[in-house]
Structure 1
């Protein structure tokens, strides 16, 4: 396997076809096809299935893609590290950011970062577990600012805690159960969550089992914060938000927090990166800018920012 073949394979997988990969790599479709065919011949197995609408990955192709992304990503980071040592910090920084951080500290963080590294291009993803964790694993994400996966942290990721806060059950203003004080009174409702408590693992206590409350019969999953907000505003679904997000969104989106007796799980926010893979100079710079912005927020003229910081325990 050669690096240019793996780069071609990743481009084909991302673009969903030969022509899209050719455009992405500024190469001819014939060159892309030749490189892909050589890779398949070297491995002695097909990696893609060609269809009229593009390509799909075979089982072997899906398995190789994870490793190919890591190898291509590491080589890109190596080039960027050498460029930084020459005083030419360029390239791309890819970050996932949890919604309430994006709504408060991200704009100022970006301003500070771009002043220090004007030639680095930024790419952002929604900081939800289902989006960020797979990209951390395959190397297409530099780091994730958000909630760690439930359970005991393993060796796969490195965690740098920033905040801890409690959570609240939320719904639209005027919800027929808005006066309920017990989690058990809400189990028959439809829930919309950005993670699946049923998949937290058999050894992990989720917010329901911790309080001896049965799992709701219907939990819908939303892999987008804007979708979750829309559903909450216009239906009788309920959800769980960290308190900083309640401070930011409740009044504006006409949502309310239920006055429950139970204290729900803590919502930890950390900088999460892959273990064993040192962060790039651009990543370290961005994280420093974020931490500086957070600390300055303690004396922010914005009442909303101060309210958000009062709702969390600062861990930096």
Structure 2
């Protein structure tokens, strides 16, 4: 199997069509078709099914896809490492970053990174665990600034702790249950929650069980802060946010935090990467900027950044 063939498969999976893959890679559709045919001949199995609406992967194609992503990303990083040795950092750095870090610190990080790494393209994903960890595994994300996933870090990932914070329940300002003092008062509400990376051990379930309550009946799942914010602003749904994110959303989205008497579990934010995979110079540069930005925000940051950091405990 050759790298250009695997790149074609990955591009088709991402674009949903041969033409879309060709546009993404800057090649002709015939070149993509030929690369895919050669790959199918090599593995002796069909990898995509074409239809008028586009292309979908077969069972064999889906089995090969995560391996293809990993190989393609490792080849790109190998080229990047050689360019670094020549003093020419370039290529692409893909990262996922938890929403409250992104809202509070990412603009300054972006500005400083672009000054130091002008030839490196950034690809940034919303850092929810259900998005970040699968991408870390398949190599399409090099660094995740976000929450530690249970039972995975010691075996698959390296976790460098940055900040610890508590959790709180949030909803729109003026919510009819905004003065509730107990989780028991919220059992009948619509809950918006994030699934964690293994899609089994849900935060909401653990939170309620720990306080002797069953999981609420009306639980809905989200994979985007903006989706959650839009629903929370216009409905009586509630959600679970880390305190720093709640601090930001109180002013930006007119949310309120519920004064619950239960103590909700703390969560840690850190830098997550795959074990056994050296980080690129671009990744190390971005991490250094992140650490410096957080340190400086204690004294010289915006009022908003200082307020957010007051709800955290620094771990570095």
Query: What TM-score do the two structures reach when normalised by structure 2?
Result: 0.95
Alignment partner, residue 128 of structure 2? 128
Equivalent residues in 2 for 1:176-255, closer than 5 Å: 176-195=176-195, 199-201=199-201, 206-255=206-255
**1:255 CA displacement:** 1.4
- Given that 1:150 and 1:200 are in contact with CA atoms closer than 8 Å, whether structure 2 keeps it comes out as no
- Given that 2:95 and 2:142 are in contact with CA atoms closer than 8 Å, whether structure 1 keeps it comes out as yes
Q: 1:172 to 1:27 in 2, by over 3 A?
A: closer
The alignment of Structure 1 onto Structure 2 pairs a total of residues equal to 315
**1:251 CA displacement:** 3.0
**1:196 CA displacement:** 5.9
Structure 2: gaps (5+ residues) = none
Equivalent residues in 2 for 1:87-106, closer than 5 Å: 87-106=87-106
Mapped partners of 2:307, 2:27: distance in 1: 52
**1:197 CA displacement:** 10
Mapped partners of 1:216, 1:23: distance in 2: 46
Matched, 1:311 2:283: no
Alignment partner, residue 267 of structure 1? 267
Mapped partners of 1:21, 1:277: distance in 2: 28
Matched, 1:138 2:138: yes
**1:152 CA displacement:** 6.3
Deviates more, 1:301-310 or 1:289-298: 301-310
RMSD: 1.9
Equivalent residues in 2 for 1:31-110, closer than 5 Å: 31-110=31-110
Mapped partners of 1:19, 1:185: distance in 2: 53
CA displacement, residues 177-229 of structure 1 (integer Å, 9 cap, x when unaligned): 11111112111111011226994439x97111111111010111121111111
- Given that 2:164 and 2:267 are in contact with CA atoms closer than 8 Å, whether structure 1 keeps it comes out as yes
Alignment partner, residue 289 of structure 1? 289
SS at match of 2:39: helix
Q: 1:167 to 1:201 in 2, by over 3 A?
A: closer
**1:113 CA displacement:** 1.3
Mapped partners of 1:282, 1:301: distance in 2: 24
Alignment partner, residue 169 of structure 1? 169
**1:148 CA displacement:** 2.0
Structure 1: gaps (5+ residues) = none
Mapped partners of 1:196, 1:216: distance in 2: 17
CA displacement, residues 128-151 of structure 1 (integer Å, 9 cap, x when unaligned): 112212211111111111112245
- Given that 1:181 and 1:259 are in contact with CA atoms closer than 8 Å, whether structure 2 keeps it comes out as yes
**1:44 CA displacement:** 1.1
Mapped partners of 2:155, 2:198: distance in 1: 23
**1:62 CA displacement:** 0.7
- Given that 1:184 and 1:214 are in contact with CA atoms closer than 8 Å, whether structure 2 keeps it comes out as no
SS at match of 2:168: strand
Query: What TM-score do the two structures reach when normalised by structure 1?
Result: 0.95
Q: 1:185 to 1:178 in 2, by over 3 A?
A: same
Mapped partners of 1:198, 1:189: distance in 2: 25
Mapped partners of 1:216, 1:183: distance in 2: 10
- Given that 1:190 and 1:237 are in contact with CA atoms closer than 8 Å, whether structure 2 keeps it comes out as yes
Mapped partners of 1:80, 1:182: distance in 2: 53
